[in-house]
Every structure is written in structure tokens, then in C-alpha cells.
Amino acid sequence: MECPDDSTFAAYLEGALAGAEAAAFEGHLDGCGTCRETLAALARVVHPADELEPAGPRLRARGSTCGRYLVLDVRGAGGMGVVHTAYDPELDRKVALKLVRPQAFGGAAHLRERLAREARVLARISHPNVVPIYDVGEVDGEVFIAMEFVPGPTLARWQSEQPRPWRAIVDMYLQAARGLAHAHAAGVVHRDFKPGNALVGPDGRVRVVDFGLAVAGEPGPAEAPGPVASASLTATGALVGTPAYMAPEQWRGAAVDARSDQYSFCAALWEALSGAPYRLPQTTWRGPPAPEPAPAPTGGRAFPRWLRQVLLRGLADEPAGRFPDMPALIDACERGLHRRRGTLLAAFGAVLAAALALLWGREGAPPPQLCRDDPSLLAGVWDGEAARALRQGFHASNLPFAATVAATTVSALDAWALRWHGERRAACEATRVYGHQTEAELARRTACLDERRAALRERVRLLQSGERDVVEAAVAIAHDLPEPAACRDPAALAQGGEGDDDDARRGRAEVDRAAALVQAGRFAAAEAGAETAGATARVRGWHALAAAAQRVVGEARQGHGDGAQAEEAFYQSLWAAEAAGDDRAAARAWIGVATLLADDLARPDEARRAVAHARAAFARAGDDPRLGAELELAAALGERSSGDFQGANTRLRAAVAALTRHAEPADPRLLTALRQYGRSFFDLGQHAAAVVEYRRALALAEQHLGADHPAVADLANNLGTTLLDLRDLPGAEAELRRALAIDLRVHGPLHLSTAAAFGNLANFETVRGDFARAEQAYRATLQIYTRQAKPHPDAAKVAYNLSSLLINSARPAEALAQLQWALKVQRETLGEDHPDTGAYLTGLGIALTELRRPAEAIAPLEQAVALFERRPRDVRYLAAARNELARALWDGGGDKARAHGLAEQAAATFREAPESANMLREVETWLAAHPLAGRG
């Protein structure tokens, strides 16, 4: 939907929106930061702070019931509702029973249902430091949540009851941090962590409670990690949290994530240790600007400066400046707590700390910048001069989209460089500031980042060449750079440790260059370079490098159509990754295997098993949303290959959601996912939905690649074909001719992309009924394919389409010749057992039947039915083959009872497919005209 007008905002704030209108408004907020900020601002005007608290909670009398629970007393009340102590007679235990007041939701039933649904997600969290939820329900219009009864005090009360050593306080808070980290891993953000929302049990165990402001992301497939959610359960959808602990992005009404909980945690721990809240400057109604580093605490407990630095990082104004996640913050604290004091390093740290104390002891004096960004580290690799050279190279290509692609590529490389500097700074701080990383660990991380810089150098040199295929693939080349953040991964550090000599460095550079060449479509050069590096790696025992090299070899072989050899390379990559103990590389190898099996080799059962192996490796490797999205794309191809179009659609929805959330809009992986998502709707016969996704992908492609980029032509072809199925002939023709014009302008008349555009226009002319023009376009397309150095499987598809036109034009002999050639090309390129072979065999049978040679038609049709039964794909193909075989058997002297059974099977399949109504009528008409003797 478009951004709502003022009246819609007002209605939502007043609780007047309900049902679909409210759901649509909230859905728009999820994707529109501007409207979230607008709502936050309006809420502070419409509902000042003293009006936000709803009317008093509904208290239940002792002895009353709430569902099966017996109310004992009131434990407390807050902005979201009231908590009772209650007794569960079925399980004979005391529970805490939280009832949510209807006022918190404006009395809207759909919001109460939303809370109940999200509470059920929270019930899946099981961790010693999170209060478990036992039950969720609704009684008398109120939602109740039954959870563990913890008799102990809150963490706020515990820390104020008596003086506590700073270490004891940190230990207690780290328990809460582990609970939050587990919730984040389950896809849940707390959004209101504070000392009052953590309970200390009699056993000394801390439990985080009151996820009433949390929200869980839409659950995806059971085996996929859920997305971290950021929406609100409050009446306004913007005013959430407790002000003293709220992250700056919450004040602004922006989307929040797990790093917002990190801020709240650090603010609470700072207050517990220092005896005073973390100080923010004066704020306006828009929320706080950047927090100011508070001076060293003057009250409360003394605590070490390394811990102060850890907390200050967690309190950074921008989420990107904080720790990457809660486990990283926990690790920083634990390393600081367990440092050995007797080593030379510790002694140096003490001297350094003393020096820093002198420098920082003055009130408000800023800490020295021990780990400043150093622009000279990327000088000559990626700087202003390098960017200018890139733009000049692109301009010299004379491609019509060069300027747009140059801007997008420079932006992507700038963003990568910022991430690289950030990782370099974080690595330095871990040793030199926080002291929880050794000098040896710093050296390994720095070496890994140096390797990433070398990869950047190779990519930039290739891009600056300005060669046409490189410019076309430039955005993909830039986004395929290895991420600097991976240098925190032990597996990435191990790869750098495999070899520090010139051969190892050359090998890694060669593999990275080969990966870029794959993106540019230079498959032969990519394979040769990666093979050379891989051979050296195998001889030297560098397993991680061998894994990377063989994966690129597999991608190159897959690119030039050598499926069998590509499969072998992917498996070699997998074995090397396992030898290296690199789960991320193993996951990527399995993804390559799965994609190849599903898309090129049409072995869907094996593809699904490969996906299961990839999921296992991905689970071991840890969370990487973009790799997870690539896994879902591979899974979708497997589902499509087996004919499970609904399953493919579900996987692709998850991939699009993950990439929309975690990738940049210009990332080609998002474009690929959107395109595949559109096709999944096409496969389901939901053509209008397919059009929506294709147009969404086109908008991204035009913005980031340019209106004349070949990717736009590909998407225009997809859109035109879909509009053709919707019988929008003017719209289809416009898109298909647009695609052809782009391909002719960029690639010329003999390119394979141009052939595909000609073929789609031929299909258009066929549907329009201009068979003469259609035949001309089909034959022009085949001329392009026959000029290629090796046969191409798409040539068989074009010949098949031409044969259909010829049969409809009463020219079955010419159709038979086209089908025989198509079958030959199909077998040469994709093999005898590929499911598409069944379509050509079916066509042969139809042509022979039209030539009144039904007895000859039986053999190819029997082969088609057997192949489709053995290698299932789209059940409609099997039904069509059975239908044609039934006719050939009947007219060719075969088993008429079997013919009748085959036709009935075909009719049953067509009845299940609404888009096959015409085929169903045809089969039912034939059955009625050909009754079996003794029936009727």
C-alpha cells in the first residue's frame, strides 16, 4: 500500500482501525521507516506520557478462576496488565498468571489474537535464564499467559538490598544476557529489558521475564531459523520500552533488533555498577540524539575500565557501533573476567591501564583513540582514485547502462570498505582496548582481513578493465566479495593459517579472481585458474583453499553446461571443507550440489537430500541470513524439480523475506530471489501474483542496473510471458519487444539471450494467431542456436514449440522432423533420462498419430509415460502422455481396456488442475465417444 494519509494515522492512534484495515496499516509499517517515525512523533503528541498508561488493571479476587487456574493473590501490575499468583490443579504447581488488559490494545480483537499467537512463539523458548511459558489462552476477553512461578526478588531489588561486589553483579547480569541471547536465536527481541524484568530465584538463577513487548517474526519452515522481529505489541506500535533503558532507535520509532536489547542490557548494567543511570543529553520529542560518553562513575561501585569500555560499546548510538550480537558482548565480558594477571601481557595491560587512567581521569576527558580507522590501509586498493578509474573504464565500454552500474558498484564497494575498516577497528579494540583477545588472535584476524583486502584488490582491477562482460556483471562481482565480518569465524582464520607463503597468497588471490570471472560468465578462464590453485592446495594440504577452489570449478563447469563434471567438483569441495572443519564452506558446497541436481540434472530426490545436508552444515556454521537465503533458494529449486510448486513458493517467500531484511536492495541475490518467487507463482497458475513479483524485481533492476541492462531484458521476458498467459496481448507484446530491443542493442543478433527473446516473441505470435510470423520468429531463433559451438538444450524447446505450430497448421510431417531433431539435441545436452525428454517423446507420438501411424506412436508414448512415472515433475505432463498413449493404443490395435484406464487416469489429474479445463473436456469427450464393450 502507499503511505497512509493523516486520517489513517489518527484512526489507528485512536483505536478506530480494525480487522483488515489495521492489519494492512501494520504491514505497511513493517516496511516503511518513514511512517514508523511519523507514527512515533504523532503518538507523542496525541498520547502524552501521562496519558499512555491505560486505566487500572482488572484484578481478580482470591479464589476466583481463570480458565483452569485458581487465583491466589496479586503479584504486581504494569502497563501491559496484571500478574497473579495462581494454582494449576492439573499439574499440581504454582504458576505466575499474567493477564493482559484490553486497554493495551484499544479493545481490538485482532490485536489480542496477535498477542496470543506471539506468546505461543515465546513458549518455544527453553533456556535456564528465561522464565518458561506453560500455557496461553483467552478468558472473558483477556489474554492470559501462565509461566513459571519464581518467588525471588527482581534483579533491581536484589542489587539494592545490600552492597554487592561488582563481579557478583556482572555474574548475575551475564545470566540474563545468556537468556536474551537464546531468545534472539529463536527470533525474539525483548524490547524492554531492565532490572525489573529479571527475577532471581532461590537457587541464585536469574530468569528474564515479561516479553510482553516482544514480538516474534513470522515463522518460516521448521528447520529454518526464524527472523528476528522488531514490531511492537503496544497500542501505537511505536512507544515501547522503559525510557531509562531504551535504545536511541526506539526513541526515534525506527525498527529495532537484537542490538536494541544489547543497549538496554548495557544501560541496566551501567546503572547497577555506577549507581546512576547512563547519562543522555536533553532530548526533544523526537528522541535523543547521539548519547554522550559518560564520565567515569563517581558514585556506586568501582569497576574496571575494560568493563566500562565494553559497556560503552554496547551503548553506542548507532546499532552498527555495538557488538554484532549478544554472544559477542558476553564473550567480551567473560574474557575480561578471566584474564590471567601473572602474564607479561597482563602486566603490560596494567601499565597501559595506569597510563589510560591518567589520561581519562579528568572529568569528561575523552578516551584516546587507540584503534582509529586508517584510510591509508586501502590506499591504492579502493580510494577516490580507484573509483575514478573504475568509472572511466565503465564509460569506455559504451554500454547504455554503464553509468548506472558504475554508481551502484562504487556504492557497494564503498559500503564494503566501511565494513572492512570497522572489522579492523574491532579486532584492534578486542586486544588493545578491551583486553579479551590475545596478540596472537589479533594477528590472525588482521591476516584474515589482509586477505580480504587482497580480494578487493583483485576485484577492483578486474572491474577497472571496463570489459563489456565485466561491466554487465559488475554489481554481482562487487556483492560477491568475501565479507570482512567472516574474519571473526575460526574457520576463516584457519584458512589464513594454512599457508603464509607466497604460493598460498597467490592461490587465494587466484581463486577469488576465478570466482569473479564466473560472475562475468568467463567460465573456461575461471575453471582453469581455480583448477591451478586447487591442485597446489591439494599437494600442500591446504584443505580450506582446496574447498574454495573446487567450488569455483564446480560453478564454472555448471555455467558452461558440464553437469556431470560440475557435480564431481562440488563433491571435492565438500570433502575438502570437511577436512578443514569449515562448516560454512561445506554448506556452500552442498548448496551447489543441490542446485545442480535440481536445476541442471533433474534429480529431485537427490537434490532434497543435498538440501538436508546443507541445512545440517548451516546449523553448525551459525547464523548467516544471506547464506540461509541461498539455502532456501536451492531448496526451492528442488521442490520445483519434483513438481511441488507450493513448496517452492514457500521456500522462496522465506528467501525473499531474509534478503529483503539483511541484504542491500542492489544485491543481485535479492533480484534472483524475486525473479524465482515470481516464477513460483507462475508455476502455481497464479499469474497475477507472478506479475506483481516480476514488476517488483524490474523496479529494482532498473534502479540499480539501468533500464537497458540485460537483467531487465530477462525480467521483461518473464513478465511478457506471464502477461501472455493472462491474455493481456498489448502488455505482453510491449514487454517482449522491450526485451528483444535491449538484447539486440547490448548483445547483437546472434547471442543466446537474443535467441530467447526471439523465441518468446514467436510464442506471442502463436497465441495471437499469426502463425506465419510465429514460424518466421521460431526459425530465426533456431538459426542462432545452430550457429553455436555446441548444442544448447533451449534449442530443443524452440523446435518443440515450432512442431506444435506445425501440427496445428496440419503439417505433421514437418513437425515430426522438428521433434526428431529436438529429441536428439535434448539427449546430447541433458541426457536420456531427463524429464524434459518425456515431452519430446510425447510430441513424437502426437505427430505420428496425426500422420495416421498410431501403431508407431505407441513406442515413444510408452517411453514418455514410463519416464514421467519414474522421474515425476509436473503431473500434467504425465497426464498428457497417458491421454495420447490411450488414443494410440485404441487406434493402433492395442489393449483397449488399458487405453480406457489411461484416459481415466488423465482425466482424474486434469480435474485436480483448474487451469487444465480444456484438456479435461477433451479427454472426457473422447471417453464418452469410446466406451468399452459391456459398459454403459
The catalytic residues are 192
Residues sharing a CB contact under 8 Å with residue 90, sequence separation 6 or more, in sequence order: 68
Judge residue 501's burial from the number of C-beta atoms within 10 Å of its C-beta, 0-12 exposed, 13-18 middle, 19 or more buried: exposed
Residues 6 or more apart whose CB falls under 8 angstroms from that of 832 comprise: none
Cβ neighbors of 54 (< 8 A, separation 6 or more) are 79, 101, 103, 104
DSSP states of 46-83: HS-HHHHS-SPP-PPPTT-EETTEEEEEEEEEETTEEE
The rounded distance, in Å, linking the Cα atoms of 495 and 544 is 5
Residue in 894, 881, 880 with CA at minimum distance from that of residue 930: 894
Element (H, E) at 147: strand 142-148
Q: Are 190 and 214 in contact (CB under 8 A)?
A: yes
Residue closest to 734 by CA, chosen among 755, 764, 771: 764
Torsion from C-alpha of 786, 791, 792, 796, nearest 10 degrees: 70
Nearest to 476 by CA among 710, 652, 680: 710
What are residue 93's phi and psi, to 5 degrees?
A: -150, 155
Enumerate the H helices of 231-292 as residue ranges. Answer: 248-251, 258-274
Strand stretches in 327-373, DSSP E: none
End-to-end Cα, the chain, rounded Å: 57
Alpha-carbon torsion 598, 603, 604, 610, what sign? Answer: negative
Within 737-860, strands assigned E span: none
- What does residue 46 show for φ and ψ, rounded to 5 degrees? -70, -40
Spatial CB neighbours of 519, under 8 Å, sequence gap ≥ 6: 473, 476, 477, 480
Q: Please give the DSSP secondary-structure letter assigned to residue 596.
A: I
Q: Which three cell numbers stand for residue 424?
A: 579492523
CA angle 441, 443, 444 (to 5 degrees): 65
By three-state DSSP, how is residue 815 classified? helix
A 10 A CB-CB count for 305 gives 16
Under the phi-then-psi rule, with left for phi > 0, alpha for psi from -120 to 50, and beta for the rest, what region is 767? Answer: alpha
In one-letter notation, the amino acid at residue 468 is R
β-strand 215-216 against 188-189: which pairing, if any?
Answer: antiparallel
Cell representation of residue 591: 548448496
User: Which of 118, 111, 127, 112 minimizes the C-alpha distance to 216?
Assistant: 118
What number of other Cβ atoms are within 10 A of residue 202's Cβ? 8
- Nearest to 189, CA basis, from 267, 255, 243, 235: 255
What is d(CA 234, CA 255) in angstroms, rounded to the nearest whole number? 14
| Secondary structure string (H, E, C) spanning 384-401 | HHHHHHHHHHHHHCCCCC
Taking a C-beta distance cutoff of 8 angstroms, is the pair 187, 216 a contact?
A: yes
Q: Hey, what amino acid is at 854?
A: P
Q: Is the dihedral of CA 701, 706, 710, 716 positive or negative?
A: positive
Beta sheet of 81-88, edge-to-edge order: 65-66, 69-78, 81-88, 93-100, 142-148, 133-139
Q: Tell which residue, 200, 235, 188, 237, has the closest CA to residue 28.
A: 237
